Amino acid sequence: MNEKELLLNLLDKPSVTPDDAGCFDVIESYLSEFGFQTEIVTFGAVKNLWAVHGNGQPLTVFAGHVDVVPPGDLSKWTTPPFAPTERGGYLYARGAADMKAGVATMCLAATNFVTQYPDYQGSIAIMLTADEEGPAHDGIKQLMPYLVERGVNMDYVIFGEPSSDKVLGDTIKNGRRGSMHVHLTILGQQGHVAYPDLAANPIHALGPVITRLADEIWCQGNEYFPATSKQIWELSGGAGASNIIPGEATIRFNFRFSNQLSAETIIERVHTLVAETLQTLATNTGKRYTYDLYHELAGEPFLTREGDLTQAMQAACQSVLGQSPKLSTGGGTSDARFVAPFGPQVVEFGPVNATIHQVDECVKIDDLPRLTQVYQRVLMTLYGKN
């Protein structure tokens, strides 16, 4: 089987998150033919696949997910999302780019390598989940500590996520910004709009609070990360009547933050800024406000510094694709955030991401064997075979 045949066998499975829809059966039977020990690890209702070949260190892990986002409005698709179709050199299906192409080519690279170098020292594994596109609670987040507890010690982890921007090999992700959601409610004193002296209007207090938060420079960024950004995405208040001063008003905002900050340091600063602003208001207007604040951390930032893995990946892109990829920490979160805290070098590298999560998602067919070769070349470098 080549990577395109394996990919077609995955793309016709409607593995809408968190259902693997038979993808793991396909991958298990493929890998076991090459001597991989495969295991399905279930958390809640979610299946995860761990497959390993060889023994000991170094251990290189190809990682990712077989679940996909829902196809959305089927009438908008040129051809059905789970009936993979070739047109003009591209393969169209939900999950083609995010990330079944990565899964298929990583599997091929691993089996090609162990066939070609049966005497290699160390081990190679495939780690996949069906819970990446949804809540991501029962996937890599739980599988990592489970494996580490069992003594699995990963040296290098490559996520075959669609990292490329314009052409295959132009971008490697070597980290991600942190992401955190914050909910802030200002509590005032409800009253009649005609009797403002008896009330404290929390919407009026939100103005200076928003200005203070918006003016704050959270960090300047560094050579790997852009400056930390904060975006308020919701503002709500009102008691539903034009003659009532409401008792509370809420804003919700999201931080995308660099490795110079942590969730804890950001939250401390938010508390300080809000408390100071409300204190100033109390001094200037006599109106007293309190607030409630809570946060949800989606992931702390992480960074794999330039080293064995980034160098092997860059060299492989150069020799196979003629590309000099840039290292980037841009984009949204991925499961790599659950792996990096355990210490291995982690990168994300895979196909062009232009159509991910869209109608008519596709991957360039010619890129498939080239991607396999890149992964294979990386293994050759990491195991001293070039």
Nearest-CA neighbor of 193 among 155, 232, 242, 240?
Answer: 242
> Is 138 near Zn ion (CB under 5 A)?
no
Residue 350 contacts residue 101 (beta carbons within 8 Å): yes
DSSP state of 330: -
The span from the first CA to the last CA of the chain, in angstroms, equals 25
H-run or E-run covering 346: strand 345-348
* Beta carbon of residue 117, minimum distance to Zn ion (angstroms, whole number): 29
Within 10 Å of residue 204's Cβ, how many Cβ atoms?
A: 18
Binding map of Zn ion across residues 214-233, x = CB under 5 A, - = no contact: --------------------
368-384: burial string, b at 16+ Cβ within 10 Å, e else: bebbbbbbbbbbbbbbe
Please identify, using beta-carbon distances, which residue of 130 and 187 lies nearer to Zn ion: 130
Please identify, using beta-carbon distances, which residue of 161 and 248 lies nearer to Zn ion: 161
**Interface region with Zn ion, contact rule CB under 5 A, candidates 88-96, 97-105, 175-183, 245-253:** 97-105
Residue 273, both tokens: 């800024």
Q: Could you say which of 19, 20, 98, 131 contacts Zn ion (CB under 5 A)?
A: 98
Can you name the residues that pair with 326 across neighbouring β-strands?
Answer: 171
**Interface region with Zn ion, contact rule CB under 5 A, candidates 21-29, 160-168, 210-218, 228-236:** 160-168
List strand residue ranges (DSSP E) for 188-267, in order: 191-192, 229-237, 244-245, 248-257
Q: Would you say 53 is a known binding-site residue?
A: no
Q: Would you say 133 is a known binding-site residue?
A: yes
* Beta carbon of residue 132, minimum distance to Zn ion (angstroms, whole number): 6
> Is 99 near Zn ion (CB under 5 A)?
yes
Nearest-CA neighbor of 368 among 1, 97, 101, 67?
Answer: 101
Identify the active-site residue in 67, 131, 138, 248: 67
> Is 335 near Zn ion (CB under 5 A)?
no
Please identify, using beta-carbon distances, which residue of 99 and 187 lies nearer to Zn ion: 99
H-run or E-run covering 139: none
* Beta carbon of residue 164, minimum distance to Zn ion (angstroms, whole number): 13
Please identify, using beta-carbon distances, which residue of 161 and 361 lies nearer to Zn ion: 161
Q: Which residues are catalytic?
A: 67, 132
**Interface residue list for Zn ion (CB under 5 A):** 98-99, 161
